[in-house]
Amino acid sequence: MSVWPFIPRDDFIETLEWKTDVIRTYSAEQRIRLSDFPRQRFNLTHVLSPRQYQRAKLLMFNAAAGDWDLPVWAEKQTVSVSAAATTITIDTATSDYRVGGKAIVWSDDETYETVTISADNGTNLTVSALSATYTNALCMPVRTARCVDGLSASRTVEQYTECSAEWTSYSGVDLSDSGLYSTYRSHPVCNTPAILGTSTLEERVSRIQDSVDNGMSAPYFDTASSRADVSLGVSWLRQSQSTLWSLRTFLHALYGRQKGFWLPAYTRGMTLAANVSSADTTITVQAVGLDGVLEAGDVMIQQIDGTQTFLQFTSVATSGANEVLTLSGAAGVNITKTNAQTVCLLHFVRLSQDSVQITHTNGIGAQIMVACDEVPIP
């Protein structure tokens, strides 16, 4: 099987894609998982010298329609190994090495070799014997992938050529582990505030409506759901391979649009109007219009020291300039007004799309931005 050995530019995109059938009714939603593991797609861009570009073209010309060995550059680590060695000392706990699959030891795009993995104990890979000695080389997993659309290139008068190719691996595995986040009411809480940088998160509130419009008289509208549709955004920035791995396993546990999780709004749109004691069965907030809009729901209170408390309320009543939220039980914690840094609604959501895009950037790590839709709690 041919190897695509060219190192990509520092920034490239990886996409994980599941498949879910979502069936909506007026007041509920059924989500049927159609794939147990995601397809993995890599959009790679290379800047190649004339010699590299010539080799790349000939490689693609010879094997474009077949399967390739594709290095997973996002999981590269530095190793040194001797010729004939059958063990590679490497941290595999945060990388997707697969027994029976392959790894690559790579010095440059003309000095490398793939090996077959026979065992993995978390700190060492047992592999087929290496044919050469490698010092400060890169080691990473290999995926069987296809490049359906081939290699595209943009040539200028400069010496180098910019090439791009999209690779898809269909041999995925289920890495699901929801242990990254604590749970509330039996579901994980994504309680990491969004890190945006220069990006923005999109939000939307709407209501699905059916309409009949003949173009002449006033159209007829009928609501198609019992509640408003709320779409929220979430962004993660991971600066190390271990933290990205934890997030990757959480995303696998969602199976695209199939599984739900809790997402705090983090808008600071609510303010405690009275202190909360552990025995209280109500909390009082400055009025924001909850009464008459939300009959029940959930809130998060985050204190200045970062402590987060999640509470379910079953009713709302207006009291002067405030609103009183009746809780499903005792608050269980003491919180003063001055110590409550963020008070916001807690939304139960699922991913809006079955695909998740990971932008890998050298020196920054990886950023993931996804849209989520609020859904009924199971």
Q: How many CA atoms lie within 13 A of 335 on its CB side?
A: 32
Q: Which residue has the tokens 């419009």?
A: 213
Q: Identify the DSSP state of 378.
A: -
pLDDT tens per residue across all 378 residues of the chain: 899 999 999 889 999 999 999 998 888 899 999 999 999 999 999 999 999 999 999 999 887 778 999 999 999 999 999 999 999 999 999 899 999 999 999 999 999 999 999 999 999 999 999 999 999 999 999 999 999 899 999 887 678 899 999 999 998 899 998 788 899 999 999 987 766 555 677 778 877 778 888 889 898 888 877 777 888 888 888 778 888 898 999 999 999 999 999 999 888 889 999 999 999 999 999 999 999 888 899 999 999 999 999 999 999 999 999 999 999 999 999 999 999 999 999 999 999 999 999 999 876 688 898 999 999 888
29 with 21: CB under 8 angstroms?
no
The pLDDT of residue 28: 85
pTM, rounded to two decimals = 0.88
Q: Helix, strand or coil for residue 242?
A: helix
The pLDDT of residue 49: 92
Those residues whose C-beta lies under 8 Å from the C-beta of residue 323, and which sit 6 or more positions away, are 284, 285, 286, 287, 288, 290, 291, 316, 317
